[in-house]
Structures are given as C-alpha cells and as structure tokens.
Amino acid sequence: MDWLTGIQNAINYIEEHLTEEIDYDEVAKEAACSSFYFQRIFGILCGMTLGDYIRNRRLTLAGNELVTADCKVIDVALKYGYESPESFTRAFRGFHGVTPSEAKKCGSGLKSFSRLSVKITLSGGNIMDYKIIEKEAFDIIEKVEAHTVENAENAKSIPDFWTRSHNDGTVKKLLDITNNKAYIFGVCYGNLPENAKTFDYSIAAVCDENTAVPEGFRRNTIPARTWAVFECKGAMPNAIQEMWHKIVSEFFPASGYQPTYEMDIEAYTEGDMSSPDYKSEIWIPVIKK
C-alpha cells in the first residue's frame, strides 16, 4: 500500500468512528502497520499524538452540535465518549475556553480543529543524504527497556533512559566491551504482538561472537536486511528529529521504498552532541514498493 494512502485511510477510519470507542490497532490496520508504528509515524508527521487528534476532533464536533442542534449537554457528552458531564465540561472548557452550557447559550467563541488530509507538498530544494545498502546479519550487545507511545510518553522516557545510561556507565561499558567503537546504537523494535502496549528500545553496540555479555545486558542478532541509511548533521536532539520528519514526509512518500516496520536504528558517533557539526545516522530496513 502507498505510504500516504495508508495514513489517509487510517484518518478516514478515525473520522468515521469518532462517536465510538476507537481501537488503535484497528486504526493501524488501515495503514497496514502496527499500532506502535502508526502512532509513531503519526506523531512525527502531524506533530501531535493520535489521542490528541481524536480528542480535538471530538470536542470540535461536540461544540458544533451544542451550537446548532437542540440537544442536551449530557447527551453530547456521552456521544463523544465522556462518562460524566463533569469530565466533559473540563475537557470542553480546556479546549474551547467556555463551558458547554455557556456555548449552548451564546454560541460564540468556540474553537475548531479541522480534519486532517494527507498530501505531498513540494517545498523545494531540500537535500537529503541517504544510501541504500545491503547488510549481512550482525550481533549487538544491548541494554533493553520497555517504553510506550501512549500519550507520547516515549518522547520523555527514552531521553531519560539515555541520560541514566551515560550516568551509570552503561554507554562506557558498551564501548569498552565491543570491537566497534564507531557507533552507539539506539534500537527501536517494532515487531509487536497485537494489542501490545509497550515496545522494546535498547542502547547497544556491535559485538563479536566471543564477547561476554555482562549482567543486565543481552546479545541480539540484527538480521540481514536492505537498509536506507540517512546522514544527519547537527546538534542533538533537533537534528535527528528534523531528519525523522523529512524521512516520513518526504522520502517515503516519493521514493520507491517502504519500511518493513521491524525496527529502526539511530547510530550515534562519539563527540560533542551539542555541536552543529555532530554527525549521526538513521538506519531503516526497507523493501521495494
């Protein structure tokens, strides 16, 4: 399925089910990927969480109904998934700046959050350095934690994981015990069972078959794959976040490749991460469309 078509199909599904309980796994099926990857791609592409989009659209439609239809506040609250008038009023006031009762009386000052439509926009002139490489399987030693994309918690928990790993010696240990000091990897695993609430993320480095695995770490094999490798230059984390947005919004929609959704790897070099000349890479396993 075409990259943008899949995302638009998922958005269409959301819009058709705004008055029902929305299963994120069902949404992701419309885009032919896992719930984890859909929520991650959606956040990168749209700049908000999937939950925020659904909530904002529901509150927009609820406001419209209160102003234009002869309906009770409690009925509108239940229709859009709120279990009580109190919870609906809190959310409504937070979004619109007025209570549902005030909106119904005066009908003014409401906010509107429009439906998303995915399109390719030619902004022109952007250069994206990348290469397509075939890579044999290789082993890594990694420190692994479970994270979640719910409410974009991973945006805070993964940087926290890196900070702890620098402070407790994890990163130094990985560099010391491996035979490859070129990169420290951030590996995001995406092959998840249906209805999984968390995903594994590891901080890792390449090892050989004779490398001993320290307590608290594991050895894993990254399978042979075709990889799209994107060069990234600039201070962290802005540089790599901007590159992710370009990959999602520019590369995959226009290229002849699509991700396998198994995993992706951010490869960090030694050096000053705050430097405008700092270099890193993003590795994504791909297949031809």
pLDDT in tens, 123-169: 555 566 789 999 999 999 999 999 998 888 888 999 999 999 999 99
Say if residue 180's pLDDT is above 80: no
Secondary structure of 155-199 in HEC code, one letter for each residue: HHHHHHHHHHHHHCCHHHHHHHHCCCCCCEEEEEECCCCCCCCCE
Mean pLDDT of the chain: 90
pLDDT at 170: 95
pLDDT in tens, 9-40: 999 999 999 999 999 999 999 998 888 889 98
Mean pLDDT of 79-94: 95
For residue 116, what are the CA distances in angstroms to 71, 113, 281? 27, 9, 30
Q: Thinking of the domain 3-106, which architecture would CATH place it in?
A: Orthogonal Bundle (1.10)
For the chain, where do the domains classified as CATH 1.10.10.60 start and end?
3-106
| Helix, strand or coil, per DSSP, at residue 282 | strand
Q: Indicate the pLDDT class of residue 178, thresholds 50, 70 and 90.
A: confident
| Helix, strand or coil, per DSSP, at residue 46 | helix
189 near 142, Cβ under 8 Å?
Answer: no
Rg of the chain taking only CA atoms, in angstroms: 22
DSSP, res 150: G
Selection from 119-128, 190-199, 224-233 with the highest mean pLDDT:
224-233
For the chain, where do the domains classified as CATH 3.20.80.10 start and end?
130-288
pLDDT at 181: 67
CA-wise closest residue to 34 among 24, 48, 19? 24
Q: Indicate the pLDDT class of residue 223, thresholds 50, 70 and 90.
A: very high
CA-wise closest residue to 53 among 109, 147, 117? 117
CATH homologous superfamily of 130-288: Regulatory factor, effector binding domain (3.20.80.10)
pLDDT in tens, 42-68: 988 888 999 999 999 999 999 999 998
